[in-house]
Amino acid sequence: MQVPTRRADKLPRQKSDPHLTPEKFRELTDTLKKLKEVKRPREAAEVKRLAEMGDFSENAGYQMAKSRLRGINKRIDEISDLLTRAEIISPNNSGKIELGNLITLAQNGKQKKYRLLGSVETDPQNGIISHNSPLGEALLGKRVGDQVKISPREKIIEYKIISIE
């Protein structure tokens, strides 16, 4: 007999970036606690209730509840893995750009501020970029006054570093 596999089980899991701010670490810890103590027990009770109705193959509610429980368990595994591998970001003022710094850049006479964090917390619309992004990679290790160039989509964009906080 062949054991059925779900599509998600066939895909390789990519390890997420372990760099987290203390705030994000606390947020993920709280989320994990809520999933383990509230959501998973509630969903497991629902699966048990629906299982008592009999025929599993015709029981759509049971199948959906099992799917939700699998999703909760997967999220618990992902968060637990991330928290065990977490590296807390704590920038210092060494004069070089590193994770956690707020950087002011100038491009074509306009200034923009970016916070450089791990890829779990990126939000480009709000000025939070990943150290794995093209701009983030170019900025790491640079100092005030340095120029950085990135070339997305075959055009070159040049930035000047104004300040590092």
Summarised one tens digit per residue, pLDDT across range 137-163 is 999 999 999 999 999 888 899 999 999
Is 73 within the bounds of a domain? yes
**pLDDT reported for residue 9:** 55
- Taking CA atoms, 89 is separated from 27, 117, 126, in Å, by 15, 8, 19
pTM of the model: 0.81
Is 94 within the bounds of a domain? no
Q: Which of 111, 87, 100 is nearest to 136 (CA)?
A: 100
For residue 31, give the CATH number of its domain. 1.10.287.180
Q: Where in the sequence is the domain holding 108, given as residue range(s)?
A: 102-164
Same-domain check for residues 23 and 49: yes
Q: Which residues of the chain have pLDDT under 50?
A: 1
Is 56 within the bounds of a domain? yes
Is 117 within the bounds of a domain? yes
For residue 100, give both structure tokens: 């956690």
User: Which of 64, 88, 112 is the last residue before a domain boundary?
Assistant: 88
Neighbours of 153 (CB within 10 A): 5
**pLDDT reported for residue 98:** 93
Same-domain check for residues 34 and 79: yes
Residue 81 near residue 142 (C-beta atoms within 8 A): no
Task: Give me the number of domains the chain comprises.
Answer: 2
Question: Strands 147-150, 87-88: parallel, antiparallel or unpaired by DSSP?
Answer: unpaired
**pLDDT reported for residue 13:** 58
